[in-house]
Structure 1
Amino acid sequence: MAEMSGLLHEAEESMAAARSYRGELRLRLRGLSEARRQVQESAALTRDALRLHFQDMMASLSRMLDARLTALLQEVDAIERQNIKPLDDCQKLLELGVTTAEGLLREGEVAVSCTNNNQENLSNFTNKALQIQLDSLPEVPALVEVPCLSAQLDDTFLSMARDHISKHGAVTSRPPVQIEELKERPGGILVRWCKVDDDFVAQDYRLQYRKNSCGPFEDAYVGTECEFIVLHITPHVEYEFRVCARGDGRQEWSPWSVLQSGQTSLIPHEWSPGLEAYSLSSRRNIALRNDSPQHAVLYSRNATYCPGQTLTFRVETSGSSDRRDSIGVCVEKLGGLDSLQRDGAVCIGSSGSVYVNGKEMTNQLPPVSPGSSITFDMELISLGVTSEGPQLRRRVTIGCGNREVVFDWQLEQSPDSLYFGCSFFHSGWKVLVF
């Protein structure tokens, strides 16, 4: 009886594994379907682009263009056939796995339902289930790993000579750049991209985005960097991003990367309004020290800085320097003070001095000037668990220019998030936070 119970238990476990296996296979089938659709739809779009472009020139160059069009279409067909075949093979493997899992489930249900004198059936079923390797799942390629066909064409080709026709146009199996990471930032999203075509020499990049997968795309960045923080992003709203590149010495842009969607759950960093000495921008992310005689610390509206994030202050303009100037983060907002050089705060002065809980460090950073970016990075390091609970240490890195200081910040209380603030004693200082 005990042996029968054990076999029943093994059979039930095998059936549960088969169900899980079938579910995973179906998920991969859906991913494979998206990959197939990307290849086929991009191939179709590429064919359409090629046909339309060449048809406009057929009146004067019909025979030559027909020959080139045929060659390019054959290239598209060859790339599609070459890349669809492994997807077809993967699909057959997945479908075979689903069929095998369903057959195993049916056999298991029969073996389990016959509870009298079926010890041999249960034993045969469990042995068969062990041989199928229900934990082995085929890999399904991600969309960025399969071709996304496109054509590169030049509309001014009609004015070119006959010997250039044979070289006109090109078909690529995938864009030369792809987005590799979307990372949420307070009120923004950090977009990172990379070159996936080693032979493509990029002169600069172009990043675009749009809200809710509708409407036209907007330019967010054009330049040589491979990352950019897109600000003014509405929290909890989906945005789509794409990037392309311009080859060295060329005017036209490459095909767009595969669309990537992302959103941020973090509310934007804002300065707190209502302080007479500071004028704020409409989005409250820029503070300007005006000529008011009042001296006070301008704090953030909320405690929005959390460990693990990078907080950046960019100095747009500067005024006269004062030893009490400060830019930094703090545990709480305290009124009646004129500087962040106090307990419960870390900051940098306009001279580059760094203060921790009101004490000046030996190490200094470069003096703050127009164009300076000051970054605060903080991570929590576990020191173990005591009777009072987990013991954590805050390791802080402050960077300015090409230098940085690293130190451990000792705090009596350890809040989940911090305020940021600044204080300047002379007018003219303008600081952007993000």
Structure 2
Amino acid sequence: MDQVSSKPKDLKIAVCEEKILSDIRNSLPLLPKIDKNANDSNVQKTRKSGEDDLFDRLASAISKQKQYEQSVNAAWFVDNAGLHENFINDGSIKGAQLPKHVEENIQGIAQSAEDYISKLEEQLQDLDCADEQIITSANKALQEIDEAYQSLINEVCCQINRKRDLIRLETEVHKNEGLAPLKACRQEINAQIRSTQHLLDLVQEMLKYPHSFNRQRFEELTSASSNLGRIPAVPLPEELPCITFCHPSRAVKEKVLTKITELGCVSRMGPVQLLEIEERPASLYIKWHIIDPEYSGEEQIFIVQKTTGDSVDSVSNNFETVYEGSETSCFVRDLSVNTPVSIRVGIQAPHIVWSILQTAKTSLAPYCWNLTNENYMITNSGKVAAKITNEISTLFSQEAQFDAEHVIEFKFLEASTDGSNEEGLALVSDSGGKDDDLKRKGALLITPQGKIYMDGEEKLMRLPKIRFGTRILFSATRKYEETLRINIECADKAVTYDWIVQTPLYFAARFTEFNKWNLIVK
């Protein structure tokens, strides 16, 4: 009978347990209750002070805009109010003419005025573009601000709710782990009460009905009574959980709030801006400068990035870094001809503020070899030259393309270990024939042994020997009108020479062995 009656009770306990677990798992997330008038923390007081300053600046800027919207005349405005006061059209002035020199002067003034108006209207168009840049960039920034902080709010609220749920779960664990032994103790006490009450009922029944007495019954009662006096131990209060929530300290809250106030910023414009973009063969040469004096006092690390196409999204993830360093110019190389690229520059920092995007393209064909020398096989759109005979021969570039503020790189895909000082790679002022030894006036030659010849004279400095995988890079700047400063880099060594030479320059290669020399120009 007892077993049958326990099943509904067990079922009830199971349902109760499932409800508790379900409530914990499905607890509703907390949502922020924003009180804009709260001024308890130091962070909020600092924020309020900064906010007041910004509101003052905004009110002042809006007031100035309204002031400047009023139509005004230039200081030299000519009043024509009295021009026709004494004019009477009575036919007496028919045929009247201005003196010729006066008429010519007035016509000149009219033409100048029309030209001036045309230029001023162009300026107005530039102002329209400027307005559009400011308004468009500001609206985009406002949208990005809302999106970024909404995402931050979502993530922070999600994390806070996860922490809240974890703390609540831990509290439920402590509560139920503490209640479990108490329930066991309660169950034991209730069992003792039931057993004792049953014993009492039997004793009273025996007293009421003496004829029911027998020895066996008496021994059972005596044996059962021996259990009387067993009092289960109830835990003392100091032995029981007293669950307490430890609130986040004020210092921790201030630290978290301070960190939040440091998340994100807005800049009027980037501290560095692009200055010039010049076309180069299959590349662009770009310069930039710092416009914010705050960043001018120390050396900065600049980052230049590009993306294909006319991009308007300065925060796109499609940008790739093409330069990182302390120089204020670089080459953006390996570009497709007449394909626009968007370029930006910034200063390395935790939050990089990029320059205004500029779009440019190069119309100059890439460096390439001449196709007419039968001793070389030219492939890869004229970029790769491979020696295919055992006859020493000089190969020149298709055109003279190398000049000041240019860079050109050669990589040896194959190289002979027996190269001589009669062979090599060169920059030359004019294109000679196949027998040109490149040790002459107007030639800068690098031999496979690393020797350097300028205008036919051997230099003291040497570069590493040319081997498979060797890269040789030439770059140039204009020192004087007729002088180039040439920098040559090979492996971990670099040399610099001032060279009086007529530009632009051809590049050339002179090699002998069949199937031992293969190089690409970039």
CA contact (8 A) 1:365 1:399 kept: no
Corresponding residue of 1:399: 487
Indicate yes or no: 2:111 matched with 1:16. yes
Which residue of 312, 328, 331 corresponds with 2:430? 331
Q: Note the C-alpha offset of 1:403.
A: 3.7
Residues 383-432 of structure 1: CA deviation (Å, up to 9, x unaligned): xxxxxxxxxxx65554325543344458xxxxx96532111346766655
Gaps of 5+ in 2: 1-95, 158-252
CA contact (8 A) 1:183 1:191 kept: yes
Residues 182-233 of structure 1: CA deviation (Å, up to 9, x unaligned): 0110121112233434445855514113235599844251422543322333
Classify 1:279/1:378 alpha carbon distance in 2 versus 1 (closer, same or farther; 3 Å). Answer: farther
Corresponding residue of 1:261: 359
Greater CA deviation, 24-33 or 260-269? 260-269
Q: Note the C-alpha offset of 1:234.
A: 3.7
CA contact (8 A) 1:299 1:422 kept: yes
- Inter-partner Cα distance in structure 2 for 1:279 and 1:218: 36
Corresponding residue of 1:310: 406
Corresponding residue of 1:361: 457
Indicate yes or no: 2:343 matched with 1:241. yes
- Inter-partner Cα distance in structure 2 for 1:203 and 1:26: 41
CA contact (8 A) 2:409 2:471 kept: no
Which residue of 294, 316, 325 corresponds with 1:224? 325
* Structure 1 counterpart SS, 2:421: coil
Gaps of 5+ in 1: 63-157, 382-393, 411-415
Indicate yes or no: 2:504 matched with 1:423. no
> What letter matches 2:487 in structure 1?
G
> What letter matches 2:280 in structure 1?
R
Structure-to-structure mapping, 1:372-383, within 5 angstroms: 372-375=472-475
Corresponding residue of 2:143: 48
Q: Note the C-alpha offset of 1:258.
A: 0.8
> What letter matches 2:393 in structure 1?
A
Indicate yes or no: 2:288 matched with 1:188. no
- Inter-partner Cα distance in structure 2 for 1:263 and 1:329: 28
CA contact (8 A) 1:187 1:233 kept: yes
Q: Aligned-pair RMSD on alpha carbons?
A: 4.0
- Inter-partner Cα distance in structure 2 for 1:23 and 1:34: 17
CA contact (8 A) 1:366 1:400 kept: no
Structure showing greater relative contact order (alpha-carbon pairs closer than 8 Å, 6 or more residues apart): 1
Structure-to-structure mapping, 1:12-411, within 5 angstroms: 12-58=107-153, 161-199=256-294, 202-212=300-310, 217-225=318-326, 226-247=328-349, 250=350, 254-273=352-371, 282-287=380-385, 293-300=390-397, 302-305=398-401, 310=406, 312-315=408-411, 319-320=416-417, 321-326=419-424, 327-335=426-434, 337=435, 339-341=437-439, 345-350=442-447, 351-356=450-455, 360-361=456-457, 363-367=459-463, 369=465, 370-375=470-475, 395=483, 397-401=485-489, 402-409=494-501
CA contact (8 A) 2:477 2:485 kept: yes
CA contact (8 A) 1:324 1:339 kept: yes
Residues 56-75 of structure 1: CA deviation (Å, up to 9, x unaligned): 4546979xxxxxxxxxxxxx
CA contact (8 A) 2:402 2:408 kept: no
Aligned sequence identity (%)? 17
* Structure 2 counterpart SS, 1:399: strand
Corresponding residue of 2:12: none
> What letter matches 1:224 in structure 2?
G
> What letter matches 1:44 in structure 2?
N
State the number of aligned residues: 310
- Inter-partner Cα distance in structure 1 for 2:156 and 2:444: 70
- Inter-partner Cα distance in structure 1 for 2:258 and 2:281: 55
- Inter-partner Cα distance in structure 2 for 1:211 and 1:285: 25
CA contact (8 A) 1:176 1:254 kept: no
TM-score by length of 2: 0.50
Q: Note the C-alpha offset of 1:236.
A: 4.1
Residues 30-71 of structure 1: CA deviation (Å, up to 9, x unaligned): 111222222222221222122222234546979xxxxxxxxx
Classify 1:316/1:61 alpha carbon distance in 2 versus 1 (closer, same or farther; 3 Å). Answer: same
Classify 1:205/1:397 alpha carbon distance in 2 versus 1 (closer, same or farther; 3 Å). Answer: closer
Corresponding residue of 2:49: none
- Inter-partner Cα distance in structure 1 for 2:273 and 2:154: 38
- Inter-partner Cα distance in structure 2 for 1:171 and 1:417: 46
> What letter matches 1:329 in structure 2?
V
- Inter-partner Cα distance in structure 1 for 2:148 and 2:487: 52
CA contact (8 A) 1:365 1:404 kept: no
* Structure 1 counterpart SS, 2:348: strand
Classify 1:398/1:254 alpha carbon distance in 2 versus 1 (closer, same or farther; 3 Å). Answer: closer
- Inter-partner Cα distance in structure 2 for 1:59 and 1:259: 31
